[in-house]
Structure 1
């Protein structure tokens, strides 16, 4: 696990600090509880140039406290800590307490210089994945460091998002295996193409469930076409015995198309964004399941079609 990873099942509320939880708040209906400084990415000031070299201004002191809180209270959201560190470093908000930023961070949070700059390097990827509904661990993003250096943050985001949609539970080992299998990638690698390659690595055709290939009146074609796993090399005209089954398959395709067309009318980006903003914990799994189902359909229809004359 990474420094900012957290085991949600074993975590217990503690009193403040880097490894502590948030202070308890009253639940009285008449009390409006405002977010604590640093507990929301929107409350962390964006990195800016120093306003001066002397004492901090009132605004700088507020920014400093917000960034400190971002590190103290949100250990599991490493991207918030990373943004906080970059803002404090870039604006030199630490200059009153200690001009040496790395030393100041170590004294306050016992975070090494290498860990510090890694967090500052990773926060943009973490933020983008969080906006997509994921909750990535720092150790997961760390496994994509070399991939990001070779290509871009966009490619890394695509790789993680694709993995998350293809597997029931994403782990650092899965991310590492996928990145290793992708091998060296050029700087101008296309994110969409890399996403397709990742899906191919995680869902190779030969590993599909036999029940989905042979069950429900679907013929076993494993013995057809010795040169091809799907029997395409020695295709023969269908005989009369296959006609009823072919008719049933056509009906399946027609029904699937109608269902997808109806779904497309009801789902759009605006609706998805509203759902994520209103209930992210509910919307994110639904979005992932929809994506996984669409990928399953995409794999099912990925067959060689006859040439149109």
Structure 2
């Protein structure tokens, strides 16, 4: 098992089901509480890879970026995409040059991550990031199981395959991902993610589900209806789900429930409450507020889509 792998026997959260659970009552008011998250504890805090500012000593900004990337590797070992982005940023910017000019040796000495695993993480983090934005938290070996598929087609196809599996099954395992990839067989380079997604749903359908398909939806959205801004990058000339579509109806209900949960939370949390909590028990309050802020950012990203113009 690799450094960033997760025990298959341990419960793996699928989707964002816990986002609006019992702890949500404290969410909405936190958006106005200014508490700087710990370096490296969210993907947004990892700077995008950039070319070295110079070959000399690190600048103040480079040192700050280096610390954020180190924390991204140290603090979030189960979120491999954050570690992968951290590694790539440090490598491309040569932020390691003061400690050891050989990046692979430096990574091994610091984290005991092999060169092969290092390059794999840097290759996979964009897929992990896209899946995380869809509400999934795949362990690294799940994405690794799609390596052949990704090389045959594209990252977009791999993202669609995993997202479809996660929506069709309550628990995703490495064996399941490998089986689906194997059953898909060789795919053309220009395979359309939406078509592959439908094939995955067919592969995962049981006889019982097929028999009742006309009476009950399987609850899996047609990925082809997503716009170009989605992590999958799916787009289609065909019209999206109509208002009468049961899948669209479920999505509307999900949005309404989300709004109701946030509205209720907004009534219970304010700056005064957050400040009192920090003053009384900062060691407990600060992580809670940071997590609330992170969830709010996740919600914000989820609804940050191009809306139709009002008629």
TM-score normalised according to structure 2 size: 0.62
SS of equivalent residue, structure 1 residue 54: coil
- Matched-pair contact (CA < 8 Å) for 2:8–2:173: no
Task: Please give the alpha-carbon distance, in whole angstroms, between the structure 1 residues aligned to 2:245 and 2:126.
Answer: 40
Question: What is the match of residue 203 of structure 1?
Answer: 205
- Deviation readout 1:212-271 (Å, 9 max, x if unpaired): 69xxxxxxxxxxxxxxxxxxxxxxxxxxxxxxxxxxxxxxxxxx95977765665669x7
8 Å contact 1:2–1:137 — kept in the other structure?
no
- Tell whether 2:116 aligns with 1:89: no
Q: Which residue does 1:49 correspond to in 2? A: 51
Pair 189,259 (structure 1): closer, same or farther in 2 beyond 3 Å: closer
How well do the aligned residues superpose, as a CA RMSD in angstroms? 3.6
CA distance in 1, matches of 2:146, 2:132: 16
Structure number with greater CO (CA < 8 Å, separation at least 6) is: 2
Q: Count the aligned residue pairs.
A: 219
Is the Cα–Cα contact under 8 Å of residues 133 and 298 in structure 2 kept in the other structure? Answer: no
Of 135, 138, 148, 2:137 maps to: 135
| Residues in 2 aligned to 1:99 and 1:260: alpha-carbon distance in whole angstroms | 54
Three-state SS of the structure 2 residue aligned to 1:46 is coil
Tell whether the 8 Å contact from 1:78 to 1:126 is kept in structure 2 after alignment: yes
- Alpha-carbon distance change, 86 to 265 in structure 1, aligned in 2, over 3 angstroms: closer
Q: Which runs of 4+ in 1 moved over 4 A?
A: 7-11, 209-213, 256-269, 274-277
Aligned match for 1:107, one of 106, 109, 114: 109
- Structure 1, unaligned stretches of length 5 or more? 12-30, 214-255, 285-309
Residues in 1 aligned to 2:297 and 2:62: alpha-carbon distance in whole angstroms: 34
Post-superposition Cα deviations, 1:172-230, rounded to whole Å, max 9, x if no partner, equal: 000000000111111100100000000011104xx2169969xxxxxxxxxxxxxxxxx
Quote how far apart the aligned CAs of 1:9 are: 8.8
Which protein is bigger by CA-based radius of gyration?
Answer: 1
CA contact (8 A) 1:152 1:187 kept: yes
Residue matched to 2:159: 157
Distance 2:88 2:101 in 1: 15
User: Does 2:5 correspond to 1:5?
Assistant: yes
State the alpha-carbon separation in 2 of the partners of residues 34 and 196 from structure 1.
Answer: 42
Equivalence for 2:82: 80
Change (3 A) 1:211 1:125: closer
User: Under a length normalisation based on structure 1, what TM-score does the superposition of the two structures give?
Assistant: 0.63
Task: Report the counterpart of residue 246 of structure 1 in structure 2.
Answer: none
Aligned to 2:267: none
Q: Counterparts of 1:1-309 in structure 2 under 5 Å?
A: 1-7=1-7, 33-204=35-206, 207-208=207-208, 277-278=295-296
What secondary structure, in the 3-state scheme, does the structure 2 residue paired with 1:4 have? coil
Question: Would the alpha carbon gap of residues 264 and 3 (structure 1) be closer, same or farther in structure 2, given more than 3 Å must change?
Answer: closer
Contact kept, 8 Å, 1:129 with 1:161, in 2: the verdict is: yes
* Partner Cα separation in structure 2 for residue 161 and residue 263 of structure 1: 18
Q: Give me the whole-angstrom Cα distance separating, in 1, the residues matched to 2:124 and 2:247.
A: 37
Displacement of 1:35: 1.3
Query: Does the CA contact (< 8 Å) of 1:3 and 1:138 recur in 2?
Result: no
TM-superposed deviation, 1:92: 0.4
1:141 shift after superposition: 0.3
